[in-house]
Amino acid sequence: MSIHPTLLIVDDEKNTRDGLKQFLESQDYDVLTAADGEEGFRQYREAKPELVLADIRMPRLDGIGLLEKIKAENPNALVILLTAYGSVEDAVKAMRKGAYYYLTKPVNLEELEFLIKKALSSLTLEEENRELRRALFQEKFEQGNILAQSKKMKAVLKTVDQIAPSSSTVLIEGESGTGKELIAHRIHESSPRRNFPFIAVHCGALTETLLASELFGHERGAFTGAVEKKVGRFERAHQGTLFLDEVGEISPEMQVKLLRVLQEGEFERVGGAKIIRVNVRLVAATNKNLIEEVRKGRFRDDLYYRINVIYLKVPPLRERKEDIPPLVHTFIKQFALSNGKKITKIEDDALQALMQYDWPGNVRELKNIMERMIVLSSEDKLPLSLVPEDIRTLQNPSPASLPPASPSKAQNLEDVERAFIRQALAESRGNKSLAAKRIGISRRTLYRKIREYGL
């Protein structure tokens, strides 16, 4: 925010405009004025003032209408409404539409000054929070979650930085654990939408009914358990980015609804009739081959081409093993700090064992194992003995040649099960649905086992 914030006064009464302008300029504000809502909105779009003071009763476009247009442009905009016709009904309506506050005329200048300072302080706090979020996100990258030493990963990040300034939809394909959500975050943080929300939805974890409610929201009483109105993720992501993970898991019915939003930019809440319009950039991710899903009739071709404007393929960790050493050392630094350990290095033979493994769970699996090694270590250098046995005993494994789990290579039943799940994940290239079918368990059970074993 600038040293002298810009305020916009929108009022059809010239004496009111001039009086407020004179007072606020004496308080070191830069002040613009407009005689009606249409002119006020034009000036808002051109000047982007930090705060708007608008009369409710005006010709052409009233204060409520101006508030709605400004909020559609910028959901975080600060608008204080003024009226000579004070009523509880107007006040409630103004606040529901997103007004910061509501004052009656004649305006108490001391109260107005207090409200403006309070509103601008909240704006400063929000800016500081955004900066903090950006700093924390940058720290995530510095902690190795998206380190790129390999040519393949550097090429992906170069493309990401090229496409980020656009508003085009993006499809990210890659195995589970490769960092698709971090790529989506990087697109958002490098785009003009960075100051607006980044909202993530993990489609594979929700039933069709719950997914519809999460994406579009619902009205009170729309279904059993809908005791109050809910704002959906599309609304929350207005002006920002919506990330749909596991988009290949959504049902045909939901695919139709999603296509409509992408084409028309509008939808209705579940159980509602009001049309809601949004401006959202969509980034979708999947661990499936979507074009193959289209050929098999499981994914709509029109939706596929709509989300596949920009295509990114994130390589699995086994195809970019140059990234393993910097990832390992960064995870050591991260988890040593969070666990109060003085560990700074890893033994060469331990690192070599990690380099030889094919990592079916990708970076996520490596991160979990590094955390476990740090927690269990009592030395200042990670030894080979802390590398999980099923990794130590494998020599250059590949998804097609992983040996079956057996008691001779496992100390107990849990080790056997862990190795068996690793094998299934490797053979299915990280596709959890396929891995669950191979093992003969439900997808939900597989997720639970993955969490239990830190895969």
pLDDT at residue 447, as a whole number: 76
pLDDT at residue 406, as a whole number: 42
pLDDT at residue 130, as a whole number: 60
Sign of the torsion angle spanned by Cα atoms 401, 403, 405, 409: negative
Assess contact for 53 and 29: CB atoms under 8 A.
no
What number of other Cβ atoms are within 10 A of residue 351's Cβ? 18
pLDDT at residue 285, as a whole number: 96
pLDDT at residue 411, as a whole number: 44
The Cα–Cα gap between 128 and 133 comes to 9
Question: What is the token pair recorded at 394?
Answer: 């494998």
Decide: pTM greater than 0.75. no
**What type of residue sits at position 279?**
N
DSSP tag of 134 = H
Q: What torsion do the CA atoms of 351, 357, 361, 367 make, to the nearest 10 degrees?
A: 0
Q: Which residues pair with 30 in a beta bridge?
A: 6
Closest of 101, 97, 105 to residue 57, by C-alpha: 105
Strand ranges for 23-133 from DSSP E: 30-34, 51-55, 78-83, 101-104
Averaged pLDDT, groups of 10, the chain, 455 residues long: 78 92 91 93 90 90 91 88 72 80 87 89 67 55 61 93 95 93 92 91 87 90 80 91 94 94 92 90 95 94 96 95 92 91 92 92 93 92 91 58 42 64 76 73 75 71
Closest of 207, 206, 199, 302 to residue 256, by C-alpha: 302
C-alpha to C-alpha distances, 135 to 141, 233, 264, 322, nearest whole angstrom: 10, 24, 35, 27
The Cα–Cα gap between 43 and 201 comes to 36
pLDDT at residue 133, as a whole number: 59
Q: What is the DSSP string of 26-56?
A: HTT-EEEEESSHHHHHHHHHHH--SEEEEES
pLDDT at residue 421, as a whole number: 81
Q: Which domains does the chain have, with CATH numbers?
A: 6-126 (3.40.50.2300), 149-315 (3.40.50.300), 318-453 (1.10.8.60)
